[in-house]
Amino acid sequence: MNDNKHTVLIVDDEEKILHSLKRLLRKEEYRLLTCSSGAEGLKILDENDVHLVISDQRMPHMSGIEFFATVKKRYPDSIRIILSGYTDVDSITESINKGHIYKFFLKPWNNQNLILEINQALEKYDLIQTNKELHEKVLEQNEELTKINENLEILVKQRTMELEIQNKALELSREILEVLPFPIIGISQELMIVMINKEAQTLSDNGKGIELGKYLSDYFSSEVEEKLTTALEINTSRVLKDCQLAGASYDMDCIPLSGRFRGKGVVLVLKPLVAV
């Protein structure tokens, strides 16, 4: 224990007992306070942070048990020890059972045992305080965790709502693409066909319709492929004139994707050319 880390109060109406205990404990590494009555002891406790209180049992005006009953109400964290020359078994047992006192020692005491018991009582005090701090810390962390979970639930609800909106928007976008009156083909940066609408599905080359997973080169000339690759690289919309597909001619709007899909692909909008 560190010097003055703890404070011990001894209450006894016999001055010779107080002097004897002062001599015995003068080298111990804690602050030692003494007084001769329960009333004085309560005043000292009001003015000092006391960790261990040792009191005589039989004192005028206020017995040790009565004194400790008040101490327990006002200063419940303090460790309380009765030191008495009388064996008031019934009253002391009742006080122990009610939690008023921690231990009971008879006078005359064994010096080494008393020193050891005082040090152990102070260690018990430290352990109790550490456990209380840990318990309070756990309560604080649980409260913080509860708040985090509540915030997480709010974020999850918000994110779920955003995803629902995005899914509805995506479904609507797909439906719009499906009902547009001209062929639309989605091409990835690898020039793979990844999307076709209903109009595009009606196109055929040698009796075979355009299929997802096929490549642009399976249906269009190398010239179209080169122009589309250039549009993808420079990320600029282009109009490809008079492109051939299955014996028909089309002007194609080549529109690169933007935003987080920039450089990932293009959308081809086919506009059939009417023969004059």
Give the tens place of pLDDT for each residue, 126-153: 999 999 999 999 999 998 888 888 888 8
Which residues neighbour 162 within 8 Å (Cβ) at sequence distance 6 or greater? Answer: none
DSSP state of 261: G
pLDDT at 96 over 80: no
pTM: 0.55
Domain-wise residue ranges, the chain: 7-134, 180-272
- 194 φ, ψ (degrees, to nearest 5): -115, -5
Query: Which pLDDT score is estimated for 122?
Result: 94
Strand partners, 32: 8
Q: How confident is the model at residue 1 (pLDDT cuts 50, 70, 90)?
A: very low
Structural element, H or E, at residue 239: strand 238-245
Widest Cα–Cα separation across the chain: 131
Choosing among 3.50.50.60, 3.40.50.300, 3.30.1120.80, 3.40.50.2300, the CATH entry for 7-134 is 3.40.50.2300
> H-type helices in the chain, by residue range?
15-25, 38-47, 64-74, 89-97, 111-179, 198-201, 222-234
What integer is the mean pLDDT of 74-100?
A: 78
Q: Quick one: which H or E segment has residue 9?
A: strand 7-11
Contact 33, 50 (CB under 8 A): yes
Q: Please, which residues have CB within 8 angstroms of residue 218's CB and are 6 or more apart in sequence?
A: 205
Query: CA-to-CA distance for 229 and 233, rounded, in angstroms?
Result: 6
97 has pLDDT over 80: no
Q: Fold match between 7-134 and 180-272?
A: no
Q: Which of 228, 17, 210 is nearest to 105 (CA)?
A: 17
Do residues 102 and 127 touch, judged by C-beta distance below 8 A? Answer: no
35 or 173, higher pLDDT:
35
User: What is the CATH class of 180-272?
Assistant: alpha beta
User: What is the model's pLDDT at position 2?
Assistant: 44
